[in-house]
Chain A
Amino acid sequence: SQKIEQNSEALNIQEGKTATLTCNYTNYSPAYLQWYRQDPGRGPVFLLLIRENEKEKRKERLKVTFDTTLKQSLFHITASQPADSATYLCALAPSGGYNKLIFGAGTRLAVHP
């Protein structure tokens, strides 16, 4: 069956450290993968998109990698801050279709001062 999995346990890290979140998928051939941030009571907000032919993307303190052999994406936040505390969702767009995103359940990140 098709699955997209994120670590369901919350990730607790110290301010200033690098947070790494994992997204694994099975039985999909994604055209691209996206990461979103969601704060309590709010809708998801787009962060980064990486396409199937890209290995790595960066935006300020954010970095995402995409390994289509391992069927995995890693999302990194360097020099993390308490304001980075939120739930992070990965979403993939199956190839051959339009922008019909399949979302993971998200990983909650807590950055402690």
Chain B
Amino acid sequence: GAGVSQSPSNKVTEKGKDVELRCDPISGHTALYWYRQSLGQGLEFLIYFQGNSAPDKSGLPSDRFSAERTGGSVSTLTIQRTQQEDSAVYLCASSSDLEDIQYFGAGTRLSVL
């Protein structure tokens, strides 16, 4: 089937606005991850969902960041009151229980003006 899909691919917003980023994982994948990649930096872990377990939110940089995963499938990452330092590429990945491989979407490039 299709790979991991993220939308929008690009988002430009004004400082102080809220944004929502969407991730559609590969069908049947139980695990879903959000990462942030700033220019020239490695991927920074944000949050991890596994099945019906409570998510691991240990990577979220502030309480302005939140994420949910509805029905064990689609996930939304919400950033409230965006700041310029939130500008980055936000990547979503999913994986199955059968292998230790993460499949990534193309990312959402967020620019906060």
Flag if B41 contacts A46 (CB, 8 Å).
Answer: no
Stretch at the interface among A68-76, A78-86, A94-102: A94-102
Within 8 Å by CB of B43, from A41, A99, A103, lies A103
Interface of B is mostly: strand
Task: Decide if A43 touches B106 in the complex (CB within 8 Å).
Answer: yes
B interface residues, how many (CB within 8 angstroms): 24
Query: Which B residues lie within 8 Å of A103 (CB)?
Result: 35, 42-44
Q: Chain B, 50-61, contact with A by CB distance < 8 Å: what is the 0/1 string?
A: 100000100000
CA distance A75 to B56 in the complex (A): 31
Q: How far apart are the CA atoms of A93 and B45 in the complex, in Å? A: 12
Question: How large, as a class, is the contact surface on chain A?
Answer: 20 to 34
- CB of A105 within 8 A of CB of B41, answer yes
Whether A99 contacts B40 by the Cβ 8 Å rule is no
Q: Chain A's nearest CB lies how many Å from the CB of B42?
A: 4
Within 8 A of B (CB), among A42-87: 42-46, 49
B62-70, B72-80, B97-105 - interface stretch: B97-105
Query: B6's closest neighbor in chain A, by CB?
Result: A43
